[in-house]
């Protein structure tokens, strides 16, 4: 019954949440762009990283690698002497290899003469199980035809006649250079199979014999990181350093290049694998050789263990139902419960996807749910419930007489100018104050709304009456638990900067608390500058406020308190405009988010000579420490800031600069650095 009542109360929010969650999932699933591709790639790649490694025992790779180039004295920029290939085939024939595949296109006659080619052709023919690679020449046209192939470069005629079969060696690459899908037929030239399909057919694989199944979608089932499949260097097989034991008995032999530093022939035939993309390959071979990819695909065919994608229609139903469940379920929860539920759902999706991959060799773009559907539903839930709470607070605040300054109310009521309610503003020099309750969300969490309203009424009454209104300030608006106020409008005040500082001091002196265990700390930022002040809106609805860059700067100063662990911060403009009774501490220069110029920031300590005298012990040392920091004497600065902590334990600005010094020791500042601290967040 309670859930049904909640549904009726929140049906609009639930509908919007479902719409966003389902819509985002279907959009990312159906539309191809960089972010959606990345999520799909992660969905395919990630389960490999937590799966156990499998080492096949029926195939062996022979690499034309750096060691072989050096041992056999073969060039990097020209084809090898084919005599070495002849010797490899002869040895494999003698030792009883099942088949030999070359991921090398022997398209032209040997520059060493016909005798070399004749010997190679004879070795190929005598073996009877050699499959050679052909090359597909890509179109140079743009648009949809860019992926088509114009011609097939087949092996040199004597080799073509001698070999058991040929197949193209091209692979299907994704945009990140990872091979994820099998590629067994080029639809623009259906007369030639892939090298792996031709090999599987030659070895008598039942499904491979059925040509109509060449286009069946298959996904590469990698057995481990690069160099998982057993391999040999070419010079381990032939030449003076060749191994003498039987290497090829009942093995499928795959021959191709794998170079770490140089190109073999025309190009370096290496690709990204799931381990490469996550930089978890485990050794210096971060990239996987093309020949190992071919061998992996062949093993998938031989053992019927490729990965399949879950049918699209099932994926469609999944994203609709999952989005509806997440969107319609989280919106009824409190933010903390919704956050926990979102994490649990994400973990369940990940575990399910890994189970399907490991046990059933199935995959689907599950990362869309984890990275989009769940976060969007969660964010909407938090926003929706926050808005509801905000509206409730605003309704409660209507009963607070301190919502508008008495002076502002008086100015509105007494102004005879009929144009006053019309939109319009003028530039005016102001001292602007922003305040905010530290950790308000955690303080108010779990509180009854009526209790919260009563406590906030008391807080605003004390803050405004004893601080802002006591110094003739104007409260512009309450923003949740925050207060936006200024001085020198609507009535001029020559000492507005001093008034703003005195108000801040009085606010900090008020004893606020939600309970004995929840004292309230108020953070304040004050800045003095020009802003547009007046009515913004229409004749029926106006908002007396101020806008401009200086308003934003005051808000940024308030936010800076949480990084410096201070209570009240003011700008140098406010310090210069206030009288000498205001006691401050210079905290240095900051580059705040959204502002190009640096801002000199000071901590407001208090008012009067007594406060100044009591703070001299640490403010003097802090000034020396700050000067050393700005002069790049970080060792001296570190010593001084540490000294301050002995005089004033837990001094926030000192601890902040000590952390900055640690960072600058690792990453020294630029040559034009002037001692400023840059903050990338609000």
Q: Give 487's pLDDT tier (boundaries 50, 70, 90).
A: very high
CA atoms within 13 A on the CB side of 525: 28
pLDDT, position 283:
52
Q: Rounded CA gap, 648 and 650, in Å?
A: 6
Q: How many residues does the chain have?
A: 682
Is the CB of residue 431 less than 8 Å from the CB of residue 486?
Answer: yes
321 CB-contact burial (10 Å; exposed 0-12 / middle 13-18 / buried 19+): exposed
pLDDT at 135: 87
HSE of 590, CA atoms in CB hemisphere, 13 A: 27
Highest mean pLDDT among 174-183, 202-211, 578-587: 578-587
pLDDT at 410: 54
User: Does residue 634 surpass a pLDDT of 90?
Assistant: yes
Those residues whose C-beta lies under 8 Å from the C-beta of residue 335, and which sit 6 or more positions away, are: 381, 382, 385, 386
The dihedral built from the CA positions of residue 508, 512, 518 and 519, taken in this order, carries a sign that is positive
Confidence at residue 146, expressed as pLDDT on a 0 to 100 scale:
44
Query: Tokens standing for 216?
Result: 């069946």
What are the residues facing 604 on neighbouring strands? 584
In the beta sheet, which residues pair with residue 71? Answer: none
Cα separation, 497 vs 81, in Å, equals 87
Alpha carbon 63 to its chain's center: 37
DSSP single-letter state for residue 668: P
Please report where in the chains the tokens 């084919």 appear, as a residue: 82
State the Cα–Cα distance between residues 604 and 615, nearest whole angstrom. 11
Two structure tokens written together for 133: 């690679």
pLDDT of residue 52: 86
Average per-residue pLDDT in the chain? 85
Residue 15 to residue 23: CA distance in whole angstroms: 12
**What whole-number distance in Å separates Cα of residue 501 and Cα of residue 498?**
5
HEC string of 557-621 equals HHHHHHHHCCCEEEEHHHHHHCCCCEEEEEEEEEECCCCCCCEEEEEEEEECHHHHHHHHHHHHH
Contacts for 648 with CB less than 8 Å, ≥ 6 apart: 618, 654
pLDDT at residue 644, rounded to an integer: 94
- Tell me: the pLDDT tens digits for 12-60? 788 888 899 999 999 999 998 999 999 999 999 999 988 888 899 899 9
pLDDT over 90 percentage in the chain: 54
> What's the pLDDT band for 112 if we cut at 50, 70, 90?
confident
Residue 541 banded pLDDT, cuts 50, 70, 90: low
Q: Which residues contact 568 (CB under 8 A, 6 or more apart)?
A: 504, 505, 508, 523, 524, 525, 526, 561, 603, 604
Q: Could you read off the pLDDT of 339-395 as tens digits, one per residue?
A: 999 999 999 999 999 999 999 999 999 999 999 999 999 999 888 888 777 665 554
Where b means 16+ CB within 10 Å and e means fewer, 459-487 reads bbebbbeebbbebbbbbbebebbbbbbbb
Read off the pLDDT of each residue in 205-229 and give the average, rounded to a whole number.
Answer: 83
pLDDT at 406: 58
Residue 187 has pLDDT above 80, yes or no: no
Mean pLDDT throughout 563-572? 96
Chain mean position to CA 138: 35
Please tell me the distance from the alpha carbon of residue 493 to that of residue 487, in angstroms, as a whole number.
Answer: 7
pLDDT at res. 136: 82
- What is the enclosing helix (H) or strand (E) of 650? none
Q: CA angle 356-362-367, nearest 5°?
A: 75
pTM of the model: 0.56
The DSSP-derived string for 87-126 is HHHHHHHHHT-SEEEE-S---S--TT-HHHHHHHHHHHHH
Most confident option among 75-84, 451-460, 535-544, 625-634:
625-634
Q: Residue by residue, what is the 3-state secondary structure of 220-274?
A: CCCCCCCCCCCEEEHHHHCCCCCCCCCCCCCCEEEEEECCCCCCECCECCEEECH
Which of 188-192, 336-340, 527-531 is the least confident region? Answer: 188-192
In this predicted structure, what is the pLDDT of residue 478? Answer: 85
Determine if residue 448 is left, alpha or beta; phi over 0 gives left, psi from -120 to 50 gives alpha, anything else beta.
Answer: beta
Contact at 8 Å (CB) between 25 and 322? yes
Enter the CATH code of domain 399-607.
Answer: 3.30.70.1230
Q: What is the three-class DSSP state of 422?
A: coil
Alpha helices in 361-495 (DSSP H): 367-368, 374-397, 406-414, 440-444, 449-463
Calculate mean pLDDT across residues 591-612. Answer: 92
Q: What is the pLDDT of residue 237?
A: 94
Q: Which of 174-183, 327-336, 463-472 has the lowest mean pLDDT?
A: 327-336
Say yes or no to pLDDT of 400 above 50: no
All residues at 6 or more sequence positions from 596 whose CB lies less than 8 Å from its CB, including other chains: none
Could you tell me if residue 537 is left (phi over 0), alpha (psi between -120 and 50 degrees) or otherwise beta? left
Task: Enter the tokens of residue 450.
Answer: 């009526």
In angstroms, rounded to a whole number, what is the distance separating the alpha carbons of residues 336 and 382?
A: 9
Q: How far apart are CA 202 and CA 207, in angstroms?
A: 12
Burial of 635 (0-12, 13-18, 19+ CB in 10 A): exposed
Least confident of 203-217, 577-591, 635-649: 203-217
Predicted confidence at residue 416, as pLDDT, reads 47
Average pLDDT for residues 627-641, to the nearest whole number?
Answer: 94
Is 619 a residue whose pLDDT tops 70? yes
pLDDT in tens, 257-299: 887 655 444 445 778 888 875 655 445 567 889 999 999 999 9
Q: What letter does residue 77 receive in the DSSP assignment?
A: S
Mean pLDDT of 70-84: 88
pLDDT digits (tens, 9 = 90+) for 635-660: 999 999 999 999 999 999 999 999 99
Burial class (CB in 10 A: 0-12, 13-18, 19+), 313: exposed
Domain ranges of the chain: 2-31+310-388, 59-306, 399-607
For the chain, state the CA radius of gyration: 37
Cβ neighbors of 141 (< 8 A, separation 6 or more) are 148
Q: What average pLDDT score do residues 79-108 get?
A: 93
Residue 233: helix, strand or coil by DSSP? strand
Extended beta strands in 211-338, E state: 231-233, 252-257, 270-271, 288-289, 308-309
Residue that is written with structure tokens 């650095």 in the block: 673
| Half-sphere exposure in the Cβ direction for 682 (13 Å, CA) | 8
Helix, strand, coil percentages (3-state) for the chain, rounded to 5, are 50, 20, 30
At residue 625 the predicted structure's pLDDT band, cuts being 50, 70 and 90, is very high
Q: Check residue 387 and give its pLDDT.
A: 79
Asked if pLDDT for residue 403 goes beyond 50, the answer is no
Do strands 424-437 and 482-487 pair parallel, antiparallel, or not at all (unpaired)? antiparallel
Q: Give the model's pLDDT for residue 206.
A: 60
First to last CA, the chain: 43
């Amino acid at each position: 019954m309670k859930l049904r009542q909640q549904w009726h109360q929140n049906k609009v929010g639930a509908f919007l949440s479902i719409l966003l969650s389902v819509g985002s999932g279907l959009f990312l699933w159906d539309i191809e762009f960089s972010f959606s591709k990345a999520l799909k790639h992660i969905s395919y790649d990630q389960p490999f990283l937590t799966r156990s490694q499998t080492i096949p025992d029926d195939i062996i790779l022979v690499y034309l690698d750096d060691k072989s180039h050096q041992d056999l004295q073969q060039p990097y920029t020209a084809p090898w002497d084919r005599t070495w290939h002849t010797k490899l085939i002869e040895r494999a024939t003698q030792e009883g290899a099942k088949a030999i595949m070359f991921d090398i296109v022997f398209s032209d006659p040997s520059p060493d003469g016909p005798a070399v080619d004749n010997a190679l052709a004879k070795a190929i023919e005598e073996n009877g199980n050699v499959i050679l690679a052909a090359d597909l020449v890509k179109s140079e046209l743009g648009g949809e035809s860019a992926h088509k192939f114009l011609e097939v470069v087949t092996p040199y005629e004597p080799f073509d006649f001698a070999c058991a079969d040929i197949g193209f060696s091209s692979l299907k690459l994704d945009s990140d250079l990872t091979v994820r899908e099998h590629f067994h037929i080029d639809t623009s030239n259906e007369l030639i199979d892939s090298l792996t399909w031709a090999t599987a057919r030659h070895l008598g694989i039942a499904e491979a014999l059925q040509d109509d199944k060449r286009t069946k979608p298959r996904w590469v089932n990698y057995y481990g990181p690069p160099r998982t499949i057993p391999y040999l260097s070419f010079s381990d097989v032939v030449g003076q350093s060749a191994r003498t034991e039987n290497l090829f008995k009942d093995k499928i032999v795959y021959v191709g290049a794998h170079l770490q530093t140089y190109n073999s022939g025309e190009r370096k035939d290496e690709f990204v694998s799931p381990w490469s993309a996550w930089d978890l390959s485990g050794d210096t071979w971060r990239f996987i050789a093309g020949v190992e990819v071919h061998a992996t695909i062949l093993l998938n065919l031989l053992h019927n263990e490729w990965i399949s994608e879950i049918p699209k229609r099932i994926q469609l139903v999944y994203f609709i139902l999952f989005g509806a469940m997440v969107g319609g379920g989280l919106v009824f929860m409190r933010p903390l419960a919704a956050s926990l539920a979102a994490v649990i759902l994400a973990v369940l999706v990940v575990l399910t996807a890994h189970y399907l991959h490991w046990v059933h060799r199935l995959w689907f773009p599950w990362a869309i749910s984890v990275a989009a559907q769940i976060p969007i539903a969660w964010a909407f839930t938090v926003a929706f419930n926050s808005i509801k709470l905000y509206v409730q607070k605003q309704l409660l605040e209507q009963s607070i007489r301190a919502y508008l300054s008495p002076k502002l109310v008086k100015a509105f009521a007494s102004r005879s100018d009929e144009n006053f309610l019309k939109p319009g503003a003028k530039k005016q020099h102001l001292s602007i104050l922003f305040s905010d309750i530290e950790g308000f969300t955690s303080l108010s969490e779990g509180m009854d709304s009526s209790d919260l309203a009563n406590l906030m009424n008391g807080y605003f009454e004390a803050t405004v009456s004893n601080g802002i209104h006591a110094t003739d300030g104007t409260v512009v608006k309450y923003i949740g638990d925050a207060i936006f106020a200024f001085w020198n409008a609507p009535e001029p005040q020559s000492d507005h900067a001093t008034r703003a500082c005195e108000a801040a001091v009085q606010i900090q002196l008020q004893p606020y608390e939600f309970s004995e265990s929840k004292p309230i700390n108020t953070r304040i930022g004050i800045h003095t500058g020009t802003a547009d002040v007046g009515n913004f809106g229409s004749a029926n609805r106006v908002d007396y406020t101020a806008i401009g860059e200086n308003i934003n700067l005051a808000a940024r100063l308030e936010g800076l308190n949480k990084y410096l662990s201070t209570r009240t911060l003011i700008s140098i403009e406010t310090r210069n405009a206030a009288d000498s009774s205001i006691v401050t501490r210079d905290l240095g220069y900051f580059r705040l988010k959204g502002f190009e110029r640096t801002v000199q920031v000071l901590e407001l300590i208090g008012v009067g000579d007594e406060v100044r005298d009591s703070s001299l012990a640490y403010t003097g040392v802090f000034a020396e420490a700050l000067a050393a920091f700005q002069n790049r004497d970080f060792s001296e600065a570190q010593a001084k800031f540490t000294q301050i902590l002995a005089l004033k334990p837990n001094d926030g600005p000192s601890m902040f600069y000590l952390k900055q010094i640690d960072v600058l020791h690792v990453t020294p500042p630029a040559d034009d650095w002037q001692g400023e601290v840059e903050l990338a967040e609000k």
